[in-house]
Structure 1
Amino acid sequence: MATAEHTGTEGLSGGDGVRRRDFINIAAVSFAGVGAVAVVLPLINQMNPSADVLALASSEVDLSAIQPGQAIKTTFRSQPLFVRHLTPKEISEADAVDASTLRDPQTLEERTVDGKKQWLVTMGVCTHLGCVPLGAGEGEVRGEYGGYFCPCHGSSYDTAARIRKGPAPLNLEVPEYKFTSDTAILVG
């Protein structure tokens, strides 16, 4: 009768159990995974915006000093921002335009916050080549449609900052903003 010799490894392998080589492989892969996370995490984290950029992520604008018919220039994310207090006449002129006839069809309601139609907030960057249009400052040329005029290539915008004439393909961009009170907005 033959007797089975005991090799000493049967207790570790146990038939279906984990062998020493399997344990070493699992440990090595786990160690490599932790190392990969340790390397990749700082690389991904460095893509987050820096503190100075986050500080510019929103801007509060006081509207109390802007009279009807006036516009101001301020900055948002290092770009010009126009805030215009439309008069009832400017609102009716903007509403009288059939939006379907415009190059970039938008109504004044689509460009303003509900219930605050008299406040138009747009980026002050021409959509043609990025010049800063005139019309927000006192005495500046507003173009033939009474809104904004880009002196670089002659684009004219109406009182709702919609493109009406010239090479600009789109209306002045309306950034995301909300009213924090009746006299203040938070842009961004």
Structure 2
Amino acid sequence: MADGATPVNSADGENRREFLYLAAGAITAVGAAGVAWPFINSLNPSADVLALASTEVDLSQIEVGQSVTVTWRGKPVFIRHRTEDEIKQAEGDDGAGLVDPQSDESRVIKPEWLVVVGVCTHLGCVPLGQKTGESRGDYGGWFCPCHGSHYDTSGRIRKGPAPLNLLVPEYEFLNDTNVKIG
């Protein structure tokens, strides 16, 4: 050899080639993981969504017969402090021909408090009936003017195209005056 390079036997060449393949593969894998991680991490819920995973509501300010709307996970949640008449009407309608049969008892923890997600189950509109003077439909609950769905005082669909009752979110009473949704 005129260059002064040392001759390499074929076994050493194969070992070096295998090492280079392994090293290049490892670097490629680390690079792919480095590129993929931000994408995968972007699929996680954002901090504001995690902060809204549960909501606590003070019920002491809600009078009998009054309804309030709170936001939970970006959706309106209707909380109604039902009157005795609304409770009796809801319990009396348990045997009525309901589109989505559920008893009033299965939809509430305490009969005087109704907590439902305020999104119509037909096309996702927000039904009317929370504010004084708004139409509450034919059954005294909520009315979705977009397509004419009528909900009763337990949030059950009674008339119209909606296929399901208003959703009851997971909630619990922390004490007599506070409820935690989510």
So what's the TM-score if we normalise by structure 1?
Answer: 0.78
> In 2, Cα distance between the equivalents of 1:10 and 1:155?
81
Aligned to 1:54: 50
> In 1, Cα distance between the equivalents of 2:95 and 2:171?
23
Letter in 2 for 1:66: I
Aligned-residue sequence identity (percent) comes to 57
**Of 131, 134, 137, the match for 2:131:** 137
The 5-angstrom pairing of residues 21-40 of structure 1 reads 21-40=17-36
> In 1, Cα distance between the equivalents of 2:168 and 2:160?
20
Give the unaligned 5+ runs of structure 2: 1-6
> In 2, Cα distance between the equivalents of 1:179 and 1:21?
68
Give the direction of change, closer, same or farther, for the CA distance of 1:99–1:25 in structure 2 (3 Å limit). Answer: farther
**Cα deviation per residue 1:72-101 (whole Å; 9 max; x = unaligned)?**
122223432210122333223222334683
Aligned to 2:169: 175
So what's the TM-score if we normalise by structure 2?
Answer: 0.81
Helix, strand or coil at the partner of 1:64: helix
Higher helix share: 2
Contact 1:73 1:80 in 2 (8 A): yes
Shift of 1:37: 0.9
> In 1, Cα distance between the equivalents of 2:130 and 2:85?
17
Number of corresponding residues: 176
**Cα deviation per residue 1:150-171 (whole Å; 9 max; x = unaligned)?**
2233221111000001122221
1:91 aligns with 2:87: yes
